[in-house]
């Protein structure tokens, strides 16, 4: 089992480049299943375990998929099968995103029920409500959700109870091949939704209004393969902005798009961080005497839940009492106990956490509880006294490419080792002591 070992105390300096967005590439790859003719070529694809998983799902469904040099090519022109089994959905919940495409293409989809995960129960009732409104029959049983429709899906007016990112994406994909017009209200406005709409439109779909609260989709009969470059990962970018700020460094995050990061930047500015927008990214210029602030996670353009734990790491270093309220996921505070292991003065009060800072963080062995928690604990390790060891890196690998190498290139004292090599190191250290 790999571990990341961080020795705190180095200021970060230099330039770091952002990858393509995980949360944009997964729905875009799922959408390639809609193309009954031609190949789709997706560029700027990050080398993440989640990308390998979605590619495996597509192969299982009989698509021809290649992933090389940051490019995924999909030929989905053959007849597709209908089932996404539990072994994939268990690894990655975003596997349910193939359901809309499969249902629209095949009139039938069978996807394993995702179940809960470390951040909450995460039901998919809003996805299913959309499919049903378009004429599908949905049944849940034996650990699967099965949806089917006679003939084509029918355009419908659908109002989401909550602006769910996944439901907006799944319904957009299904509606693109439906008969008639779908009006989708109270939808998610995340930049990844806009990226998916742009991809669908290049495939021949007619999607209007992505990025606003209402999306209108005029269904078409056929979609074809196309070429598309994925937007930069705003969560990876935000994580590096915090890495720079927490260490009091000066770092250019190349590829970061300011409009995608407004809520994070506004909060960090309130804390006293100084940014400069440059032609090719965002620079953290300085971050001295950080002040406490309160944060509430919200759907975009509100503060993203995917930046909540990294922000917790930063707020532990700010002077005063800060509060974070998590409104998107009901259980996304598993990392709090790990921060406490590092001497963090942080406690949970219902759906909020209260922190008193600045905390003198101490290195400890901590376990990543989800992928953003993995990054957040490493960020804390950058400023903790002594050595921090972060385990459960399978979470980190779902969402960050070469995270420790990128931090090391900025000057962090960080390495990734396997359990075996740590044992060897310890053994040779003891041997040296005894010599």
Please give the full DSSP string across 216-227, using - where no structure is assigned: EEE--S-EE--E
Residue 340 marked in a binding site: no
58, 94, 112, 197: which one binds ligand UD1 (CB under 6 A): 94
Task: Identify what 32 binds: ligand UD1, ligand PEP, none; CB under 5 to 8 Å per kind.
Answer: none
Cβ-closest position to ligand PEP: 306
Q: Of all helices (H) and strands (E), which one includes residue 39?
A: strand 39-43
Q: Is 359 in the site for ligand UD1 (CB under 6 A)?
A: no
Among 117, 323, 387, 409, the one annotated catalytic = 117
Residue 27 marked in a binding site: no
Task: Identify what 372 binds: ligand UD1, ligand PEP, none; CB under 5 to 8 Å per kind.
Answer: ligand PEP
Query: Please, what is the minimum distance in Å from the beta carbon of residue 27 to ligand UD1?
Result: 7
Query: Please, what is the minimum distance in Å from the beta carbon of residue 308 to ligand PEP?
Result: 9
The dihedral formed by the CA atoms of 226, 99, 68 and 232, expressed in degrees to the nearest 10? 70
Q: Is the dihedral of CA 328, 334, 339, 340 positive or negative?
A: positive
Cβ burial, residue 252 (10 Å; 0-12/13-18/19+) = buried
Q: For 312-412, where are the E strands, in sequence order?
A: 320-325, 346-349, 352-357, 365-367, 387-391
Q: Is 239 in the site for ligand UD1 (CB under 6 A)?
A: no
The nearer residue to ligand PEP, 238 or 255, going by C-beta atoms, is 238
Residue 126 marked in a binding site: yes
Q: How far apart are CA 243 and CA 412, in angstroms?
A: 10
Query: Please, what is the minimum distance in Å from the beta carbon of residue 161 to ligand UD1?
Result: 7
Look up residue 129 and give its two tokens: 């409500």
Q: Which residue has the tokens 């376990």?
A: 367
45, 61, 65, 165: which one binds ligand UD1 (CB under 6 A): 165
State the residues that interact with ligand PEP by CB under 6 A.
23, 93-94, 119, 306, 371-372, 399
Residue 304 marked in a binding site: no
C-alpha distances in angstroms, 4 versus 246, 334, 422?
18, 19, 11
Is 287 catalytic? The answer is no
Query: Please, what is the minimum distance in Å from the beta carbon of residue 93 to ligand PEP?
Result: 5
**Number of alpha carbons in the 13 Å side-chain half-sphere of residue 396:** 23
Q: DSSP code of 154? A: B
Q: How far apart are CA 222 and CA 38, in angstroms?
A: 11
Q: Is 328 in the site for ligand UD1 (CB under 6 A)?
A: yes
Residue 328 marked in a binding site: yes
Query: Please, what is the minimum distance in Å from the beta carbon of residue 324 to ligand PEP?
Result: 15
Binding site for ligand UD1 (CB under 6 A): 23, 26, 94, 120, 122-127, 162, 164-167, 188, 305-306, 328-329
- The residues that are catalytic are 117
Instruction: Provide the annotated binding site.
Output: 22-23, 93, 122-126, 306, 328
Instruction: Provide the annotated binding site for phosphoenolpyruvate.
Output: 22-23
């Amino acid at each position: 089992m790999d571990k990341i070992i961080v020795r705190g105390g180095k200021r970060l300096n230099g330039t770091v480049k952002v990858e393509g967005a995980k949360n944009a590439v997964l729905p875009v790859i799922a959408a390639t299943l809609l193309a009954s003719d031609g190949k789709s070529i997706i560029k700027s694809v990050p080398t993440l375990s989640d990308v390998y998983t979605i590619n495996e799902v597509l192969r299982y469904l009989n698509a021809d998929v290649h992933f090389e040099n940051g490019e995924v090519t999909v030929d989905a022109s053959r007849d597709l099968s209908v089932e996404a089994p539990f072994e994939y959905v268990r690894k990655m919940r975003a596997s349910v995103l193939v359901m809309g495409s499969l249902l629209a293409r095949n009139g039938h989809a069978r996807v394993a029920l995702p179940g809960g995960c470390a951040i909450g129960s995460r039901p998919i009732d809003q996805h299913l409500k959309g499919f049903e409104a378009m004429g599908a029959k949905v049944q849940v049983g034996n650990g699967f959700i099965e949806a089917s429709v006679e003939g084509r899906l029918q355009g419908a007016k659908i109002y989401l109870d909550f602006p769910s990112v996944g439901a907006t994406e799944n319904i957009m994909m299904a509606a693109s091949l439906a008969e008639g017009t779908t009006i989708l209200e109270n939808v998610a406005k995340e930049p990844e939704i806009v990226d998916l709409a742009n991809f669908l439109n290049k495939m021949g779909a007619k999607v209007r209004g992505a990025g606003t609260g209402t999306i209108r989709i005029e269904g078409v009969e056929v979609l074809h393969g196309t070429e598309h470059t994925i937007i930069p990962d705003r969560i990876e970018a935000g994580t590096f902005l915090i890495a720079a700020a927490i260490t009091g460094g000066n770092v250019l995050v190349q590829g970061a798009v300011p409009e995608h990061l407004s809520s994070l930047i506004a909060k960090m500015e309130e804390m006293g961080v100084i940014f400069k927008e440059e032609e090719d990214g965002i620079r953290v210029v300085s971050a001295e005497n950080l002040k406490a602030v309160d944060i509430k996670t919200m759907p975009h353009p509100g503060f993203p839940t995917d930046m909540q734990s990294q922000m917790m790491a930063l707020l532990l270093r700010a002077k005063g009492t800060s509060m974070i309220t998590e409104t998107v996921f009901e259980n996304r505070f598993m990392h709090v106990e790990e921060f406490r292991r590092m001497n963090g003065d942080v406690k949970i009060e219902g759906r909020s956490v209260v922190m008193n800072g600045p905390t003198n963080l101490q290195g400890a062995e901590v376990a990543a509880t989800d992928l953003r928690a993995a990054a957040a604990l490493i960020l804390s390790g950058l400023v903790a006294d002594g050595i921090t060891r972060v385990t459960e890196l399978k979470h980190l690998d779902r969402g960050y490419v070469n995270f420790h190498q990128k931090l090391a290139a900025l000057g962090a004292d960080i390495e990734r080792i396997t359990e075996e090599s740590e044992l060897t190191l310890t053994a040779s250290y003891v041997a040296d002591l005894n010599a």
